[in-house]
Amino acid sequence: MSHEALAEHEREIGQAQAALIMTCAFGVQTLGRQLQIPVIPALDTLFIGKERGVGLFDEICTQCGDCILGETGGLCPVNQLP
Ligand code: SF4
């Protein structure tokens, strides 16, 4: 979506000196590679979450680097198992 969003707002972005990015860290880095102006993260990425409702997120992965979902039937031992 970033290409389409950037194209849609090309004129405004062309006049900007910096971009305040309200996404996770992945989005900030993606846009940082596409824009020719400084990007400023507006949010602090805490975890990879799944939205349960408006503004309610369940932490489903902390990117531990040792994923064993294939051995636990899809349940994360770090975030979902007691
Ligand atoms: S084990 Fe859990 S925290 Fe680790 S990578 Fe897999 S889903 Fe993410």
pLDDT in tens, 17-36: 999 999 888 888 989 999 99
Ligand 1 geometric centre to CA of 18 (Å)? 34
SS3 of the chain: the string is CHHHHHHHCHHHHHHCCCEEECCCHHHHHHHHHHCCCCEEECCCCCCEEEEEECCEEEEEECCCCCCCHHHCCCCCCCCCCC
Alpha-carbon separation of residue 66 from 26, 48, 63, 75 (angstroms):
20, 15, 8, 13
pLDDT, tens digit, for every residue of 64-79? 899 998 888 888 998 8
Name all residues whose Cβ lies below 6 A of ligand 1.
61-64, 66-69, 76-79
Predicted confidence (pLDDT) at residue 82 exceeds the cutoff of 70: no
DSSP strand pairing (48-53 vs 56-61): antiparallel
* pLDDT at position 40: 94
Q: Which atom of ligand 1 is nearest to the CA of 61?
A: 8
Question: Is the pLDDT confidence value at 10 over 90?
Answer: yes
Q: Which atom of ligand 1 is nearest to the CA of 80?
A: 2
Atom of ligand 1 nearest to the CA of 68: 1
- How remote is the CA of residue 75 from the centroid of ligand 1, in Å? 9
